[in-house]
Amino acid sequence: MFRDAEGRPRIVVTGTGLASPLGTDVGTFWHRVTSGAIATGPVTRFSTDSYPTHLAAEVSDDGLTAPQAPDGGTPRSLRYGLHAAEAALREAKLLDHDCLRRTGVVLGTVMGTRPHVEELRRLHRSVEARAVWDAPSLLAVAPARRLGLGGPRQVVAAGCAAGNTAIATAADCIRSGQADAVVTGGVDELSEAVFGLFTTLRALAPDEVRPFDRHRRGMMPSEGAGVVVLESLEHAVRRGAPVLAELSGYAVAADAHHMTAPHPQGLGMLRCMSESLAMAGLHARDVDYVSAHGTGTPANDALEAACLEDFFGARGGHPAVSSVKGMLGHSQGAASAFEAIICVLALQHDRVPGNPTLRDVDDGCAGLDLVEGSFRDMPVRAALSNAFGFGGNTSAIVLSRFSD
Amino acid sequence: MATGIDVQTPLPPPASAVAITALGAVTASGASVSELFTDMLSGRRPFTAEKIPLVATALAGEKDEGEVYGAHVRCPLDVSEVVGDRAARTFSRDSRLLLHTVHTAGARPVPEPDRTGVVLGTLRAGRNEYLAIHNASRGDGGPVNPVWGPQSGYNAPAAQLSIHLPARGPNLTLASGATAGLDAMVLGARQVSTGTCDAVVAGGVDILSPAVAGLPGSEDVPEGEAAAAVVLRRPAPDGPVLGHLLGSGQATALPDDPALGATSAPAAAAEAAVREALRTAGRLPSEVGLGLVACGGDREAEEAGTAALAAVFGDELPSCCPTRTAGRTGGADGALAFAVALEALRREAVPLAPVERRSPDGGVPRPAGPLAVCLSADPGGHATAVLLQGRSGEAA
């Protein structure tokens, strides 16, 4: 019961938590993400007067986002991560549990606490001393110390595949015996530098993010933190923890092709889908839902759609597909962590989120079963979540309905 | 030594050990581990104040530069022959430094790209490009040099390396603090030992920044720039092997844990990590003849590391800290310690400066046993240790 067919310890999800532009508790988030709510709106963190576009998605909880002190206070990314980690541990009934000594933290990020330098500059604070604003390890150290987590600590960077990559790294931590449980996911905060960069790259949508739409015009930056608690099944059962889903497969790889363009044949994407399903012991036809990376950029969506169609079509699968980035924007390191939580919730509720901004399906994406509207009620036995990033980082995870 | 057991015949590496087949490092001392080792032996500290640009690929007319006191890499980092002129122009300095290091280590080309991974420690990668983008965009909306974009995240050097090796296996960047460089070695070795990869290029890299310029005399050990990398593989009967990674340990201690008593969290974690490395390798403290400590230049963490070595091995274990010579090199610190340990085992010499040597004649001491332990600890209470065996320490 406690090991998979290959003899590896089974890994389960026992808690979820987040700080997102669609809510800072999982219940609100799930309601909004299956209601077609759009989080993107005018940027408030910095002036966009000189930019051609003015929209992004921001966490809108004053307790998490307001500048705290004249010295700039705590980086928002730390606040998001702490909030999400505490909520996930609470749901897992692990807060103040005596097993926290062997509970670790593995978080993924693209920019870490680096965007905090922008806050300091806005406050006219010096940034030339030791760069305390650029201390990525704090993302793991702070929740570990605050919440009393004595297990391994790691901060993983893998471009916008960081959330999934952290989850895979955390699962390996458990399987290698380093930890019984790990708080894992991804975090990033809104950054003017990222906004400026994607402006120059002409990758920002001026009005709406429309993944897989014929008229999609790009992505929008976003922010937040998504966290799940992973445990060995044995540990979860032994302490009577609620099991929300099973992390049955995961894979990470590299395109090794180009710093910004994905491999034209989607080598990394296909490899990760194939290897994660193989680890899960599942066939393509067992996957009912795919949470696509689906950034809303012309290049990503066309290639991802072609890879999904090739991969599942050749194997007799035809899963429902959606990208929540039309609602949430692209929250970088947090993106695939949010999407992992969505997959867990989809398995629990037999409901998947839709593509509410999709109006006119691109011919190149027409072979997919794209979920129209806000949601679809359907049986969900297994869900696959893709994540890809600059630098050619690719990853996929498979979450399955738990069955003993 | 802590025990009276004297191991006369070195044991061969166990089947679970991971072989190290290539090694390179570029530091302020030069473009090889040997040059760093020589500086450590002589006590030379190559710290200078130099004017450096924020980014290597500035747009025409940009003036972002500043004087930085630190350990500057001065050897040319020309990678055009490796990646071509056009690609080389787009490389950030940290990526250039890493690729140069891997190339001089002889790690390219890799035999099976699909089965080769990259694991890298870094704490600052992309910082300068991030600041350059913000400098260019804030206030007036840009434009920024698009070349900087993909270089502005922590994962950029590892990603560049994966492209140019090529390596299509897992590509991981670790930004976990002072232990990041050694963490990369441990995770890389795990990728090999579990069969996820046949080979992993593991290491660490970080560079200097005019945005956080140090001043001469402001700190005992200033920041430095460096890269170190090794190739980890399954042990094979043929082919060159520089040494073996026999075991590893990682441990965390929380500062408010009452069980610690008078011991600090970093010291408790460091000792636990070292003992775990010995346990996983199945080796005895008496076999360890050298300790390398890399704690990011944090005095408390370094003292904790030294105390942990003393607790496990006794006061007589010769130990040293490459950081004092190479500067605080962030994610490269642990990887440099790893590289120096291998070099010490190869030379059968402990790289202690003359003022640190305890031998009455001032000669260079030999390691007191065939194995070396590398230890990183951070002030937050996390520690990583690895146990190494050099080629000369293996049984015939």
The predicted-structure confidence for B215-245, as pLDDT tens digits, reads as follows 676 677 899 999 999 999 988 767 789 999 9
Which of the pair, B372 or B61, is modelled with greater confidence? B372
Residue B266 and residue B197 in one domain? no
Does the pLDDT value for residue B79 go beyond 80? Answer: yes
Tens of pLDDT, residue by residue over A369-392, are 999 999 999 999 999 999 999 999
| pLDDT at position B240 | 83
Residue B298 and residue B229 in one domain? no
Q: Which chain B residues are within 8 Å of A165, Cβ to Cβ?
A: 172
Residue B354 and residue B206 in one domain? no
Residue B255 and residue B387 in one domain? yes
State the virtual CA torsion across B322, B328, B334, B336 in degrees, nearest 10.
Answer: -50
What residues contact residue B387 under an 8 Å CB cut-off, 6+ apart? Answer: B245, B246, B247, B248, B277, B278, B280, B281, B283, B288, B371, B372, B373
Does the pLDDT value for residue B2 go beyond 50? Answer: no
Nearest residue in chain A measured CA to CA from B174: A156
| pLDDT at position B22 | 95
pLDDT more than 70, % of chain A: 98
Q: Do the Cβ atoms of A13 and A181 come closer than 8 Å? A: no
As a whole number, the mean pLDDT across chain A is 95
| pLDDT at position B59 | 53
Tens of pLDDT, residue by residue over B278-326, are 999 999 999 999 999 998 888 889 999 999 999 999 998 999 999 999 9
Q: What span, in angstroms and rounded, lies between the C-alpha atoms of B233 and B215?
A: 42
**Tokens of residue A48, six digits:** 């966009």
Residue B169 and residue B294 in one domain? no
- Let me know if residue B7 belongs to a domain: no
Does the pLDDT value for residue A128 go beyond 70? Answer: no
Q: Which of B140, B148, B153 sits opposite A110 (nearest CB)?
A: B153
Confidence of residue B108 (pLDDT cuts 50, 70, 90): confident
Residue B177 and residue B322 in one domain? no
Q: Which chain B residues are within 8 Å of A112, Cβ to Cβ?
A: 154, 175
Tens of pLDDT, residue by residue over B120-142, are 999 999 999 999 999 888 667 66
| pLDDT at position A32 | 98
Does the pLDDT value for residue A301 go beyond 50? Answer: yes
Q: Where are the domains of chain A?
A: 11-238, 250-400
- Let me know if residue B169 belongs to a domain: yes
| pLDDT at position A62 | 83
Does the pLDDT value for residue A123 go beyond 80? Answer: yes
Q: Do the Cβ atoms of B351 and B383 come closer than 8 Å? A: no
| pLDDT at position A396 | 98
- Let me know if residue B193 belongs to a domain: yes
Nearest residue in chain B measured CA to CA from A149: B254
| pLDDT at position B56 | 75
User: What are the Cα distances from residue A69, in Å, to A66, A73, A124, A402, B331?
Assistant: 9, 5, 13, 45, 30
Confidence of residue A166 (pLDDT cuts 50, 70, 90): very high
Q: What span, in angstroms and rounded, lies between the C-alpha atoms of B269 and B308?
A: 9
Are the Cβ atoms of B212 and A129 closer than 8 angstroms?
A: yes
Domain that holds residue B385: 246-391
> A55 pairs with which residues across the strands?
A42
CATH 3.40.47.10 fits A11-238, yes or no: yes
Residue B279 and residue B173 in one domain? no
Residue B150 and residue B74 in one domain? yes
Confidence of residue A250 (pLDDT cuts 50, 70, 90): very high
Confidence of residue B3 (pLDDT cuts 50, 70, 90): very low
Does the pLDDT value for residue B393 go beyond 70? Answer: no
Tens of pLDDT, residue by residue over B321-341, are 999 999 999 999 999 999 999
Are the Cβ atoms of A50 and B140 closer than 8 angstroms?
A: yes
Does the pLDDT value for residue B4 go beyond 50? Answer: no
Q: Do the Cβ atoms of A249 and A4 come closer than 8 Å? A: no
Mean pLDDT of A148-172: 97
Residue B82 and residue B222 in one domain? yes
Confidence of residue A70 (pLDDT cuts 50, 70, 90): low
Does the pLDDT value for residue A122 go beyond 90? Answer: no
Residue B45 and residue B191 in one domain? yes
Q: Which of A107, A153, A165 to mutate to test the interface with B (most CBs of B within 10 A)?
A: A153
| pLDDT at position B363 | 83
User: What are the Cα distances from residue B83, in Å, to A120, B77, B161, B166?
Assistant: 38, 12, 10, 11
Taking the whole predicted model, whether its pTM rises above 0.90 is answered as: yes
Nearest-Cα distance to chain B for A41, in Å, is: 18
| pLDDT at position B223 | 93
Nearest-Cα distance to chain A for B262, in Å, is: 18
Restricting to A residues 213-252, those with a Cβ less than 8 Å away from any Cβ of B are 252
| pLDDT at position A161 | 98
Q: Which of B138, B192, B201 to mutate to test the interface with A (most CBs of A within 10 A)?
A: B138
Tens of pLDDT, residue by residue over A192-239, are 999 999 998 899 999 999 999 999 999 999 999 999 999 999 999 999
Confidence of residue B194 (pLDDT cuts 50, 70, 90): very high
Write down the ipTM of this complex.
0.96
- Let me know if residue B10 belongs to a domain: no
| pLDDT at position B146 | 86
pLDDT more than 90, % of chain B: 66
Please state the domain count of chain B. Answer: 2
- Give SS3 for B2: coil
**Tokens of residue B323, six digits:** 């950081």
The pairing of beta strand A181-188 with beta strand B199-206: unpaired
Residue B202 and residue B307 in one domain? no
Nearest-Cα distance to chain B for A1, in Å, is: 22
Q: Which of B79, B70, B91 is nearest to B28 (CA)?
A: B70
Q: What span, in angstroms and rounded, lies between the C-alpha atoms of B160 and B94?
A: 10
Tens of pLDDT, residue by residue over A89-121, are 999 999 988 889 999 999 999 999 999 999 888
Mean pLDDT of A156-184: 97
CATH code at B122? Answer: 3.40.47.10
Q: Counting one residue from A and one from B, how many pairs have CB atoms under 8 Å apart? A: 219
Does the pLDDT value for residue A320 go beyond 70? Answer: yes
As a whole number, the mean pLDDT across chain B is 89
Residue B252 and residue B226 in one domain? no
- Let me know if residue B396 belongs to a domain: no
Which of the pair, A54 or B137, is modelled with greater confidence? A54
Does the pLDDT value for residue B93 go beyond 50? Answer: yes
Same topology between domain A11-238 and domain A250-400: yes
Q: What span, in angstroms and rounded, lies between the C-alpha atoms of A100 and A45?
A: 36
Nearest residue in chain B measured CA to CA from A261: B150
Q: What is the CATH number of domain A250-400?
A: 3.40.47.10
| pLDDT at position B142 | 66
- Let me know if residue B241 belongs to a domain: no
